[in-house]
Structure 1
């Protein structure tokens, strides 16, 4: 398994993987809702600033997972990033998420990032277990912040300080 920085030529496969991961119903976008084209994603990867990065997990030229680390240009927030992670359904539970976190944290330390934050649906126990294993703590509850199928779900706000 190779963990590396995503490059613009990954855009088509990455866009497809993101849509596949969203089929879980555990991501921000509903399945089929994301309208990002491979061309748009390619442009985003090409123009991404130094405060952000996308890592991918690749095996045999097939992308298995991704981690977006999005930073801030605002001076007072430059020490902080927000992350989103996804792993292919058939590859979950094999340590890919942990490997993506290791790569992201190494990059974050080099960039002098102090705070990493994320949100996760309250009932996504597998993801919460991964985040806690990686040292994240719950900071708060975002009540009824996500609407899924006519029901409102809570999200946990979690963070890790480096």
Structure 2
């Protein structure tokens, strides 16, 4: 297993990973079959992220297949450049094997190099495994986003979580 920065040539594999995650769990942003991104559109998004000093995506590769990722999306506004918003997804067959913690360690190394101070994310309040991972990685709940999402015709709350890195 290898964790590495995403490359443009990963567009098709990354899109397939995202679609599989959408179908495996209700804890991702998109419903199954909702993601309509083309491979070329995905390649262009990846290209933009690669060239953005405030954003990154790390992928987890096993036997030439992507099995997980962690994306950190930054801000160009000077007042928000110290902060990134995180999304993470790991295929269900690989959950619980320490991959999430490895991804967060890689993210924190990158964040330190980029002089980031704030790492933030949201998680559905019912996502116990995700919540446990984020707390283990040092994230704290800062608040609740009530009725933040609608899943299976039901409103779902999310926790807003963050971790501060000492970069003052």
Same fold (TM over 0.5): yes
* Poorly superposed stretches of 4+, deviation over 4 Å: none
Aligned partners of 2:40 and 2:114: how far apart in 1?
28
1:64-103 correspondence to structure 2 within 5 Å = 64-103=67-106
Aligned partners of 2:101 and 2:64: how far apart in 1?
20
> 1:60, CA displacement in angstroms?
1.6
The answer to whether the aligner puts 1:105 opposite 2:108 as a matched pair is: yes
The answer to whether the aligner puts 1:142 opposite 2:123 as a matched pair is: no
Counterpart of 1:57? 60
CA RMSD of aligned residues (A): 0.8
> 1:34, CA displacement in angstroms?
1.3
> Where do 5+ consecutive residues of structure 2 fail to align?
none
Counterpart of 1:42? 43
Tell me the TM-score normalised to structure 2 length: 0.94
Local SS of the residue matching 2:10: helix
> 1:64, CA displacement in angstroms?
0.9
Aligned partners of 2:13 and 2:75: how far apart in 1?
26
Tell me the TM-score normalised to structure 1 length: 0.98
Counterpart of 1:28? 29
Local SS of the residue matching 1:154: strand
1:12-27 correspondence to structure 2 within 5 Å = 12-23=12-23, 24-27=25-28
Local SS of the residue matching 2:156: strand
Counterpart of 2:6? 6
> Where do 5+ consecutive residues of structure 1 fail to align?
none
The answer to whether the aligner puts 1:132 opposite 2:135 as a matched pair is: yes
> 1:88, CA displacement in angstroms?
0.8
How many residue pairs were aligned? 162
